[in-house]
Amino acid sequence: MKLHVAIFFAGLFGALATLFIFLSFGTDYWLLASETCNSHGLVTLQQGGVSEVSEDQNITFHHEGFFWRCSFNEIMNDDDLWKFWFENQPHARECKPAYLLPFPFPDQFYNTTSYQTAIIYRGFWSVSMLLGVAAVVAGGFIIICAAPFASHRLYKAGGGFYLISGFFLLVVTVMYVLWLDVLDVISLYKEYQKSNKCPDFELNMTYGLSFMFAPVGVFFCLLSGLLFLVIGRSVQNHCN
C-alpha cells in the first residue's frame, strides 16, 4: 500500500516537473524589460490653441526566452512591466532568434571580444536547457514503461534522468541570474545607449514567468527523481 502511494506521488511530481519545464522552455518570458528616454519622452498636445505636455512616454518593451527576443513600442504613462504584459500587450512586435543575439547591441559590436564571450556563454546556457528538457522527457518515458512491469531498474533509471534534468535546469537558472545580475553585459548596453542615443536612458528589468517556472520545475524534478530511486530500491528488495 505504501509503495503504491509513493508511486502515485512520484508520478504526480514527475508530471508537474515536466509541465513546468516545458512552460519554461517553450515560452518567451524569461526576461521582461522596458526602455525609456526621458529627454525625449514627453509628448506635446495641442488642445484649443493651448499647448499641453503629456506625461505619456514612448516606451520600448522587450521580452526574451529560449527561442525568441521580441520588442515593441507603446506610448504609456506607466512602465509597470507586469501590468503591461497582462493587460495591454499589442499584437504587432518585432522578434528575432534569441540564441543568435546574446545581447541587443548594434551590428558593429558583433565582432568584439565581449560578443564572442557572450556567444560561448549563451551556447552553454542553451545546451544545458536542451539537456534538461531531453532528460525529463526520457525520464518520463522510462517511468511509463516501468509501471506495467514493476522493474526496479527502470524506476531507478527514470529517477536518475529526473535528477539529471533537475541539475541541468538548476544550472540554467543560476547561469541566467549571473548573466543579468553579475556579468557586465547589461551595464555595457546601458553605457552604449547613454553615450550614443540618449543621455537620460533608463532600463527597467524583471524576471518573467518563464524564469519563475524553472526553479519550480527543478524542485519537482529532484523530488520525483529521489522518490523513484527509493521506489526502485524498495521494488528490488521486495523481489529479493
**Secondary structure (3-state) at 97:** strand
Question: How many contiguous H segments (helices) and E segments (strands) does the chain have?
Answer: 6, 7
d(CA 156, CA 226): 9
b/e burial code for range 127-146 (CB count within 10 A of at least 16 → b):
ebbebbbebbebbbebbeeb
Indicate the pLDDT class of residue 43, thresholds 50, 70 and 90. very low
Q: Yes or no: say if 62 and 204 are a contact pair by the CB < 8 Å rule.
A: no
pTM above 0.75, yes or no: yes
CATH topology of domain 2-239: Butyryl-CoA Dehydrogenase, subunit A; domain 3 (1.20.140)
Mode of pairing for the β-strands spanning 57-64 and 43-47: unpaired
d(CA 52, CA 38): 17
pLDDT at residue 181 in the model: 82
Q: Yes or no: say if 198 and 40 are a contact pair by the CB < 8 Å rule.
A: yes
**pLDDT single digits (tens) 51-88:** 444 455 677 888 888 888 888 877 665 556 655 555 55
Indicate whether 174 pLDDT > 90: yes
Partners of 64 in beta bridges: 31, 69
d(CA 102, CA 86): 26
* 189 residue type, one letter: Y
pLDDT at residue 50 in the model: 46
**pLDDT single digits (tens) 111-123:** 566 677 777 888 8
From residue 237, give the alpha-carbon distance in Å to each of 14, 58, 152.
23, 67, 9
d(CA 39, CA 32): 23
The ranges assigned to domains in the chain are: 2-239
**pLDDT single digits (tens) 129-156:** 999 999 999 999 999 887 777 788 889 9
